[in-house]
């Protein structure tokens, strides 16, 4: 098998980035959890709010793709790299489900997605460089924070919108699994300053992408 050159890796990463930002990356082909669910008539205000929440979740999945792809690029152990790549495929399911729901709500994905993808990719690559235990710890902490966001969004979601709720519930189940896998694989607990910094970046992302 031919060894990939640095240029080959760069081209591959650029392709992954473009597919991610267009929400066309490889998926597990699981059915959309919202397919068989219903959504009664929403007021304009409810529809706008739900679209904002789903836009945040869509951008969160863009960030997850950047994180996993950056980590896969620099991970030292093949099994860790394989975990990152598999997690990225599963996160692509979430990406497509969120985009589909946003379109159903007659809204748009965030124009800030390229910037957040680039930031997340850089953070993932640095975590991978620091060592696999830190890379896995970074994944576990990221998923932990995502779970808190999902709980918050579910608490705000009108009960009559079972479509959005079904998507978020499945995402929550998957993210909890990713967190547990990362911990069991040897993920280290991150220092408090790093966890606080990640929380601050997350706050900036959720605040800015709710509207744009």
DSSP line for 19-64: HHHTT-S----PPPTTTT--B----HHHHHHHHHHHHHHHHHHHHH
Q: What is the pLDDT of residues 128-146, one digit of tens each?
A: 788 888 888 888 888 898 9
pLDDT (tens digit, 9 = 90+) per residue, 188-197?
A: 898 999 889 8
Q: What's the pTM value of the predicted model, to 2 decimals?
A: 0.87
Domains of the chain: 41-209 (1.20.1260.10)
Annotated ligand binding at 91? The verdict is yes
Contacts of 2 (CB under 8 A, 6+ apart): none
Is 153 marked as a binding-site residue? no
CB atoms within 10 A of CB 6: 7
Rounded to the nearest 10 degrees, the angle between the axes of helix 78-104 and helix 162-184 is 170
135-189 pLDDT tens trace: 888 888 888 989 999 999 999 999 999 999 999 999 999 999 888 888 888 888 9
Residue 79 among known ligand-binding residues: no
What does the pLDDT read at residue 166? 96
144 annotated as ligand-binding: no
61 in a labelled binding site: yes
Q: What confidence score (pLDDT) does residue 162 get?
A: 95
């Amino acid at each position: 098998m031919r060894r990939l050159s640095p240029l080959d890796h760069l081209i591959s990463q650029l392709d992954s980035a473009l597919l991610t930002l267009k929400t066309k990356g490889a998926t597990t082909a699981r059915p959309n959890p919202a397919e068989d669910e219903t959504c009664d008539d929403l007021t304009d205000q409810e529809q706008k709010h739900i679209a904002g929440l789903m836009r945040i979740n869509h951008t969160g999945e863009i960030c997850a793709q950047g994180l996993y792809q950056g980590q896969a690029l620099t991970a030292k152990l093949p099994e860790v790299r394989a975990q990152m790549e598999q997690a990225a495929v599963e996160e692509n399911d979430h990406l497509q489900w969120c985009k589909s729901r946003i379109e159903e709500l007659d809204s748009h994905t965030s124009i800030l997605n390229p910037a957040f993808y680039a930031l997340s990719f850089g953070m993932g690559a640095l975590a991978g460089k620091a060592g696999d235990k830190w890379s896995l710890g970074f994944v576990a902490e990221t998923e932990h924070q995502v779970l808190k966001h999902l709980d918050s969004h579910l608490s705000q979601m009108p009960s009559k919108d079972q479509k959005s709720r079904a998507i978020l519930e499945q995402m929550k189940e998957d993210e909890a699994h990713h967190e547990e896998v990362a911990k069991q694989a040897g993920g280290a607990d991150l220092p408090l300053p790093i966890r606080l910094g990640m929380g601050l970046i997350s706050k900036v992302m959720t605040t800015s992408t709710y509207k744009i």
